Amino acid sequence: MRRVRFINRLLVKEAFFCMLFSFMVIGLVLLIGLNISFFSPFKNAFKDFSYLDLYYAENLHEENGDFNENIVLVNINRINRKEIAELLGEIQKHGPKVIGLDVIFKDSQDPVWDQFLAEKLKNESLVLTYTIQDKNKVETNAKVFSSKQYAGYSNFNFDTESLVIRNFQGIYKTEDDTLVSFPVAVTNAYLENNWLNDNLNSLKKERPIKFWGNRDRFLVLEQADVIGRQELSFLKDRIVLLGYLGDSKNHDYDIEDKHYTPMNPKFVGKNPPDTFGLVIHANIIQMLLANDYISIVPTWVLILLTIVLTFMALAYFIYLNKRQLASYILRLNLVQLFFIILFIWISLLLFKNDVLLKVTSITATVVFSMGLIGYYKKLANYLYKRYKWEGYFYHD
């Protein structure tokens, strides 16, 4: 009995030190990868990949109806400022509660039409947009739109390395000001009643976007659907978003102001960009309106899971390795594959229930650590011969 307890203690000790060895190797690999530019393309490629893209790409989410009832999209395509002003004027007649204009009129043009547009932009229901580039605002010319109260930045988040839009940041702090995003500004104007103040803290952090759907899940109007039409009463008290949505017949092949999102049907080796910026804004606004967020599993839970699972996996395979089973390598490979598939399934199941569990780091650490047992065994052999260091592999 004492011998069994002694061996078990050695197994626990060996698994613990093997885990430390694995973490040191992984840390060294990551350090090299972060500091050598050769690895940057690989690092960015993995950053743009997520198992959870399967959730949208394979239509695992439940459909929420034919159209979004709260938000109407209006395509400005490539019309000029005069036509945009006419479009705004026609829409304003039908009493939408909020009009979001995802266009920046950066430079002055024809003073007559600029003034004509400026008159339409004075409407209190209007929210404009600007972008933040190198911590500076790029916004509409003051001669066209001078009120800064009804504007928000169009940046979804401030991660310049990732090509896929999965997250958004609702509030951005500078040294001099606190800025709100375009979707937050639109939502605040629609809900009123101090909605922004009540949600200030939760909007400061970057959070995942819960996508409602692509442009086919929203009612999209073209210029011809608005100008001269008598019956647009359905716009009353709605949110109307104007922006670029490409040509009505060939928008699938238009990549201007399009972004990669998890809704891309080809989640490995991406297709061309799949979603217009205006549609992403609409998805964020819908999420904010419904107060329907995705919860993120805290980092400390991920760390704890990684440590516990790595330790358990190493203890099991150190035990098998000592027994020198002929099937050891086969079992190792099968368990590694099963572990990856199981955690992908668990993450998808949780994501379906609005919980984001980032499993990539957990699976990578556990699977990589299993593969290092052979190298650790050689290190343990050296320590035993040189210093009489006892463990499960080598002891008196």
In terms of pLDDT, which residue wins out, 213 or 39? 213
What span, in angstroms and rounded, lies between the C-alpha atoms of 314 and 369?
7
pLDDT number for residue 73: 92
| Cα–Cα distance list, 365 to 154, 305, 328, 337, 379 (Å) | 36, 11, 20, 14, 20
Please tell me whether residue 126 adopts helix, strand or coil conformation.
strand
What pLDDT sits at residue 281? 92
Question: In whole numbers, what is the pLDDT of the chain averaged over residues?
Answer: 79
What is the pLDDT at residue 46?
47
Q: What pTM was computed for the model?
A: 0.82
User: pLDDT tens for residues 307-346?
Assistant: 999 989 888 888 877 776 667 788 888 888 888 888 888 8
pLDDT for residue 48: 47
Q: Which of 33, 48, 43, 30 is nearest to 365 (CA)?
A: 30
- pLDDT, tens only, 171-206: 888 777 788 899 999 999 888 778 888 888 888 888
* Furthest CA-CA distance within the chain: 96
The residue among 52 and 182 whose pLDDT is bigger is: 182
Query: Can you give the residue ranges of every domain in the chain?
Result: 11-47+296-387, 71-292
Region of residue 103 (phi > 0: left; psi between -120 and 50: alpha; otherwise: beta) = beta
Q: Confidence class of residue 118 from pLDDT cuts 50, 70 and 90? A: confident
Q: In degrees, to the nearest 5, what angle opens at C-alpha 84 toward C-alphas 78 and 85?
A: 160
Give the pLDDT of residue 52: 64
* Residue of higher predicted confidence among 192 and 128: 128
Confidence category of residue 45, pLDDT binned at 50, 70, 90 = very low
Pairwise CA distance, residues 271 & 222, whole Å: 26
Task: Name every residue whose Cβ is closer than 8 Å to that of residue 295 and which is 6 or more positions away in sequence.
Answer: 354, 355, 356
Q: What three-state secondary structure class fits 260? A: strand
- Please give the pLDDT value at position 138: 75
Kindly state the tokens that stand for 57: 């790409």
Q: What pLDDT does 65 receive?
A: 52
Q: Who's near 41: CB < 8 A, 6+ residues apart?
A: none
Helix %, strand %, coil % for the chain, to 5? 50, 15, 40
Cβ contact 101:129 at 8 Å = yes
Is there a contact between 12 and 315 (Cβ–Cβ < 8 Å)?
A: yes
Q: Are 221 and 67 in contact (CB under 8 A)?
A: no
Instruction: Give the per-residue pLDDT at 42.
Output: 43
Percent of the chain with pLDDT over 70: 82
pLDDT score of 61 more than 70: no
Query: Residues 274-299: what's their mean pLDDT?
Result: 89
Residue-wise pLDDT tens digits, 223-249: 888 887 767 888 888 999 998 888 777
Residues 6+ apart with CB under 8 A from 37: none
